[in-house]
Structure 1
Amino acid sequence: MNFQHTEDRRMLADALNRYVTQEYSFEERREIAASEQGYSKAKWRQLAELGVIGALFTEKQGGYGGQGFDIATVFECLGRGLILEPVMESALLAGTVLLDAESSVHQPLTEGVVSGNTIAVLGHFEPDSGYSHTYVGTSASRAGDEWVLNGCKVNLFQGQSAVTYVVSARTSGAPGDVQGISLFVVQAGTAGVSLRQHPSVDGGRVVDLVLDGVRVPAAAMLGDEGKAAALIERALGKGVLALCAQAVGAMDVALANTVDYLKTRKQFGVPIGSFQALQHRMATMLIEVEQARSALINASAAIDTEDRIAREKSLSAAKYLIGKVGTLVAEECVQMHGAVGMTAELPLSHYAKRLVMIDHELGDAAFHLERFILFGKE
């Protein structure tokens, strides 16, 4: 297998890394995180113009990439800058289910999401669902030529930025059943839709989406009734890949910052990086990060296969390993910085928080280890 990126991907990575370094400084990120919106519309437009969103989709879908390695390239760069804009939530997750549903009724929305002109957020997980993609308690019941939605979706990252929500709801069956899950397009501001907004540990914003007797037309259904589980699983798989790539990018920056600190911080008149114990710990982290990078490469190659078992095993293996390694890197880098590593003024503390949070998004290490084992039995 050739592990070298194509020329197009190398050019995209170079452009994105320059953008992160020159146009998305830590100070700017802090200002964006503290703003009322929680993200920057200007930065969102710039990312779209750089080709970030287009790289996530094939030419047929309106982009110019769409393969696993394209997704990994984009999100590894975004992870280096701890980008707050909802690239994963809107473009990748919502965009994937919209495209895979192949709904002509929602074609304008799909085109808007793929172009970056519209922000839509996927609302799927619920207070009692854990990380299961089939546990859906939100209900959708028929009322004439409308559907009435009742339920709650939690932890929609940058959900306050969306003008449209793509929401999963159960039209038949019981929570946990594979069959009976449907998707609905719900406009922000619809009667009965409310948001509970709160900050996340890593500086972003998340919202809980409450649906209280929300009425939507029959045309709001996305795809076939009761058959959305496969669409959701495929989209969440791409989300797992994106998170793994983000983590690898963030780990690279955390390691580089720690190496610089060990070279400049002195004790007993010498840089602490000369101490053998710290050198051993850095070497261990470097080995673990390279192993995580290999898992990311394997998942990037597997995401495009039609073999569901092989695809999901590779994704869970990568998420498990990267969750464990990300936590290790976060803890070790903070400890090597000493007390200053915990301060909000130092970028490292924010990378550490993001790495810990990535482990808990779309399934933590324990969940994906169990999932990997279960798929191995099929």
Structure 2
Amino acid sequence: MNFDLSEEQQLLKNSIERLLADSYGFEKRRIYQTDPKGYSDAMWARYAEIGLLALPFSEKHGGFGGGAVETMIAMEAFGKSLILEPYLATVVLAGGLLRLGASEAQKADLIPGIAEGRLKLAFGYAEPQSRYDLFDVETQAKKDGDEWILNGTKCLVLHGDTADKIVVSARSSGDTRQKNGIGLFLVDADAPGLSRRGYPTQDALRAAEITLENVRVKNVDVIGDPEKAFPIISRVVDEAVAALCAEAVGCFERMQQITLDYLKAREQFGKKIGTFQVLQHRAVDMFVELEQSRSMAMYAAMMVGEDEATERERATSAAKVQVGRSAKAIGHQSIQLHGGIGMTMEYSIGHYFKHVTMLDMLFGDADHHLTRLASLGGLSAEQVN
């Protein structure tokens, strides 16, 4: 596989990194966090101006026709700056469901609003009993004439408290854990019967608990077949996992750099602690973990477009396993090498560690994906090499 970026992809990388370097330092991030929404509307508008919100969508719907590699570039840059804005929720998750499952009329109606920054979406998939199983859906969708009536609860809806619309997975037929019988329904955030409780997550993002009580959804707001949405959900989540791996790599790179800078500056016993060989070895261990994760994130980005589900799932699970293990290894080393200051809220390294820990848990931790990878037969020798 060719992992070199094209000229256009390198320009994209440079433009995002330049924007974030100018507008998203750690202190500015803390200011953005104090907004009631938990992020900066001004930065969201800047993302729209340079085309980031239009990146994965087709040109006929107002997008730029980018793929998983372009998303990887953006997410890695976002990871370096620990952005707070709902890019994953709106563009990767809900936007991915529209891109792969919506009708042409729905795409023409909704995607330009996302691309221009006017419309923010969220994806309600998780439920209290479901853990990491996307098909474990108890929320019910009952047909009533030309409408559907939704009842149920969704938890950990990323940025669900500020979204304009929420894509909800609900069961239109079958038992709770069947993969068939699941539909996707687009619900207005202010729809009668919908209530949401927003809260901050451990890594300073936002999420919401959403309750649906006899919420009515028109047929025109059903995305795809109301009984056959699971393959779309599974594919979009694989894309999201690849994006999260890239974001984690951005975090890892910044964590390593911050730690190296600290080792070069901190003095103990009259010497820079970076001159102590044992600490140099630990810094090298961080670098090895970073590069292993980078390689697997690239592999996931290259494979996530595969139509064959098994190959796609193997790649994304393998990447998630590596990233989850590296999150612990790099996180522990970075905190320990900083000593007590690494645990303070005033210093950035602890915030990075919190975020990569949350990334490990999102859509399944390393143990979950190792189990899934084993059930899929693991990676072949050709894939490993």
Report Cα offsets for 1:310-348 as digits up to 9, x if no partner.
111000000111011012111110110000001111111
**Any gaps of 5 or more consecutive residues in structure 2?**
380-385
SS at match of 1:234: helix
**Aligned equivalents of 1:129, 1:115: Cα separation in 2:** 34
1:97-246 to 2 correspondences below 5 Å: 97-106=97-106, 107-246=108-247
**For 1:104 and 1:285, how far apart are their aligned partners in 2?**
47
Residue 356 in 1 paired to residue 353 in 2?
Answer: no
* Alignment gaps of 5+ in structure 1: none
Deviation of residue 94 (structure 1)? 0.7
The Cα offsets for residues 136-170 of structure 1, whole Å up to 9 and x where unpaired, read as: 11000122332110111111121122110111100
Helix, strand or coil at the partner of 2:376: helix
- 1:54 corresponding residue in structure 2: 54
Which letter does structure 1 place at the counterpart of 2:11?
M
Please state whether the residue corresponding to 2:94 is helix, strand or coil. Answer: helix
Paired position in structure 2 for 1:81: 81
Matched, 1:323 2:306: no
1:58-73 to 2 correspondences below 5 Å: 58-73=58-73
The one-letter amino acid paired with 1:239 is A
Distance in 2, Cα, partners of 1:59 & 1:105: 15
Q: Displacement, 1:360?
A: 0.5
Q: Does 1:27 align with 2:27?
A: yes
| 2:93 is equivalent to residue 93 of structure 1 | yes
Using the TM superposition, give the Cα deviation of residue 56 of structure 1 relative to its aligned residue in structure 2, in angstroms: 2.2
**Deviates further, 63-72 or 317-326:** 63-72
Counterpart of 2:247 in structure 1: which amino acid?
Answer: Q
Residues 190 and 19 of structure 1: is their aligned pair in 2 closer, same or farther, counting only changes over 3 Å? Answer: same
- Judge conservation of contact 2:147–2:218 (CA < 8 Å) in 1: yes
Question: What CA distance in whole angstroms lies between the structure 2 residues aligned with 1:182 and 1:315?
Answer: 24
After superposition, the C-alpha distances for 1:280-301 in whole angstroms (9 at most, x for unaligned) are 1111111111011110111111
Distance across 2 between alignment mates of 1:14 and 1:214: 45
Matched position secondary structure for 1:38: coil
Q: Which moved more, 1:51-60 or 1:273-282?
A: 51-60
User: What is the identity, as a one-letter code, of the residue corresponding to 1:290?
Assistant: E
Aligned residues: 378
Assess if the C-alpha contact under 8 Å between 1:58 and 1:67 holds in 2: no
Give the superposition deviation at 1:117.
2.2
Task: With the length of structure 1 as denominator, give the TM-score of the two structures.
Answer: 0.97
CA distance in 2, matches of 1:359, 1:102: 29
Distance 1:58 1:293 in 2: 27
Which deviations, in whole Å up to 9, do the C-alpha atoms of 1:102-129 show, x marking residues without a partner? 3144231233224432111111111111
Q: Please, what TM-score do these two structures have when normalized by structure 2? A: 0.95
Does 2:239 align with 1:247?
no
Give me the identity figure in percent: 39
1: CA distance between counterparts of 2:217 and 2:63?
30
The alpha carbon displacement at 1:66 in A equals 2.6
Q: What secondary structure is seen at the aligned counterpart in 2 of 1:370?
A: helix
Amino acid at match of 2:345: A
CA distance in 1, matches of 2:73, 2:105: 32
Aligned amino acid, residue 259 of structure 1: L
Contact 1:91/1:116 (<8 A) preserved:
no
Aligned to 1:311: 312
How much does 1:61 deviate? 4.8
In the alignment, the residues of structure 2 paired with residue 249 and residue 282 of structure 1 have an alpha-carbon distance, to the nearest angstrom, of 17
Report the alpha carbon displacement of residue 234 of structure 1 after superposing the two structures with TM: 1.1
What's 1:8 paired with? 8
Q: Is the 2:238–2:304 contact (alpha carbons within 8 Å) kept by the matching residues of 1?
A: yes
Match of 2:343 in 1: 342
Q: How far 1:303 moved relative to its partner?
A: 0.9
Q: 2:382 maps to what in 1?
A: none
Could you tell me which residue of structure 2 aligns to residue 374 of structure 1? 375
Counterparts of 1:313 and 1:52 in 2: how far apart (Å)? 28
Give the Cα separation in 1 of the matches to 2:115 and 2:21. Answer: 25
For residues 27-56 of structure 1, the C-alpha deviation after alignment (integer angstroms, 9 at most, x for no partner) is 121122122111211110101112212222
Q: SS where residue 35 of structure 1 aligns?
A: coil
The secondary structure found in structure 2 opposite 1:160 is coil
> Is the contact made by 1:105 and 1:219 (CA closer than 8 Å) also made in structure 2?
no
The worse-fitting range, judged by mean Cα deviation, of 65-74 and 234-243 is 65-74
Number of the residue aligned with 2:258: 257
CA contact (8 A) 2:161 2:197 kept: no
- Quick check: 342-351 or 140-149, which moved more? 140-149
